[in-house]
Structure 1
Amino acid sequence: MSTREEYIEKMKAKLDELNAEVSRLEAKAREAKADLSIRYKDEIENLKAKREESKARLAEFKEAGDSAWEDLKIGMQGAWDIMEEAIKSAKERF
């Protein structure tokens, strides 16, 4: 498997982890009291937006030509770093 393919698989796995975390937060939001539920829902919407952005970047990355993929990889990593920080922050708050 090429480095590019390995990287795509790694990003897909991270996206799966994000999906699982959003699902866990949604479950907690359903169980939370009304005031916390609103905060959970806001945080979940934020994570979903970031997830959609990451999915779009991954699709762009998969379609990129060989000469552009290294540049896109840098952007993709930046997006994942932001996503991971958002997840960490959400976990800490709730």
Structure 2
Amino acid sequence: MSLKDEYVEKLKAQLDEWSADIDVLDAKVRKTDAELRIKYDEQVSALKLKREEAKVKLAEVQSSAGEAWKELRKGSDEAWESIKSAIAEARKKFNE
């Protein structure tokens, strides 16, 4: 397996994990009272947007030819850190 393939597989696995986390948080939102639901719903919507951005970065890496994927890796890593931080923050707030 090439370095690119390993990287793509790592990103896919992490994206799947985050998607599951977002689904759990979304389910928690549905169980909260109306005031909290609005607050949390905004956070979940923001997470879903970041997830879509991460999917775009993943697709860019997957479709890159030759060594070009290495150039795209930096942007992907930044997107991944952004969603990682956002999910961690949301988990903290939802568990308060």
TM-score where L is the length of structure 1 = 0.96
Which secondary structure state, in structure 1, belongs to the residue aligned with residue 67 of structure 2?
A: coil
AA partner of residue 57 (structure 1): K
Q: Once the 2 structures are TM-superposed, how far is the Cα of residue 57 of structure 1 from its aligned partner? A: 0.7
Structure with the larger RCO, 1 or 2 (CA within 8 Å, 6+ apart)? 2
> d(CA) in 2 for partners of 1:46 and 1:68?
30
Q: Once the 2 structures are TM-superposed, how far is the Cα of residue 40 of structure 1 from its aligned partner? A: 1.3
Q: Once the 2 structures are TM-superposed, how far is the Cα of residue 74 of structure 1 from its aligned partner? A: 1.1
2:91 corresponds to? 91
Indicate the RMSD between aligned Cα atoms, in angstroms.
0.7
Deviations 1:20-59 (A, max 9, x none): 0110011100111111111111011000100000001100
1:77 corresponds to? 77
Task: Identify unmatched segments of 5+ residues in structure 2.
Answer: none
Q: Once the 2 structures are TM-superposed, how far is the Cα of residue 75 of structure 1 from its aligned partner? A: 0.9
> d(CA) in 2 for partners of 1:52 and 1:2?
25
The count of residues paired between Structure 1 and Structure 2 equals 94
1:63 corresponds to? 63
TM-score where L is the length of structure 2 = 0.94
> d(CA) in 1 for partners of 2:2 and 2:68?
15
AA partner of residue 89 (structure 2): S
> d(CA) in 2 for partners of 1:71 and 1:35?
44
Q: How does 1:30-69 map to 2 (within 5 A)?
A: 30-69=30-69
Q: Once the 2 structures are TM-superposed, how far is the Cα of residue 67 of structure 1 from its aligned partner? A: 2.4
- Percent identity between matched residues is 43
Q: Once the 2 structures are TM-superposed, how far is the Cα of residue 81 of structure 1 from its aligned partner? A: 0.3
> d(CA) in 2 for partners of 1:31 and 1:67?
47
Task: Identify unmatched segments of 5+ residues in structure 1.
Answer: none
